[in-house]
């Protein structure tokens, strides 16, 4: 992928990040097949391990993930994903987000999830995940519902993080 294939990533406080994405339908097939490789290129260039369509201003229920197992690309494209089961056990992991660059916080989520989705060919798939992959899948699914990882924090922590982001972005704009 060339750099020109990448897309601009929306940053908080862009209101489009709060929009709930609509389900991908049959008429969206060509657009989604065109979008997926560009989303992956954008995610790799950022660099990140996940990117949801709303983060690039597209309100479709699709996200991409790649944890680079064994340091080799292992991309997944999930269309119309939904969690079908989650553990009662909770795991706390540090999360960040390409839409909130440089900001990280501990987030508590179910430790294991089962997710149903469609692949780019339209086939139904299911994945069971734990650890980093489970957190990543839940984080990206949140984006499809207009939810950011900071929404899982206390109001105090969320406000501190958002103020720090605003300051960092102001300083970057001055450079």
Asked if 36 contacts 54 with a C-beta cutoff of 8 angstroms, the reply is no
Give CA separation, 68 vs 35, 43, 50, 160, in Å: 20, 12, 11, 31
140 catalytic? Reply is yes
CA distance 111 to 133: 10
Asked if 93 contacts 3 with a C-beta cutoff of 8 angstroms, the reply is no
Of 106, 126, 130, 140, which residue is the catalytic one?
140
Catalytic residue ranges: 140
């Amino acid at each position: 992928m060339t750099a020109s294939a990448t897309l601009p990533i929306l940053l908080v406080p862009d209101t489009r990040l709060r929009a709930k994405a609509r389900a991908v339908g049959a008429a969206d097939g060509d657009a989604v097949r065109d979008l997926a490789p560009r989303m992956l290129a954008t995610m790799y260039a950022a660099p990140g391990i996940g990117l949801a369509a709303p983060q690039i201003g597209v309100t479709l229920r699709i996200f991409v993930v790649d944890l680079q197992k064994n340091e080799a690309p292992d991309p997944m494209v999930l269309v119309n994903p939904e969690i079908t089961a989650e553990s009662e056990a909770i795991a706390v992991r540090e999360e960040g987000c390409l839409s909130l660059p440089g900001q990280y916080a501990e987030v508590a989520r179910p430790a294991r999830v089962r997710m149903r989705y469609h692949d780019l060919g339209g086939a139904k798939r299911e994945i069971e995940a734990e650890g980093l992959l489970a957190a990543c899948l839940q984080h990206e699914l949140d984006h499809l519902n207009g939810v950011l990882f900071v929404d899982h924090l206390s109001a105090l922590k969320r406000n501190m993080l958002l103020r720090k982001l605003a300051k960092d972005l102001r300083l970057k704009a001055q450079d």
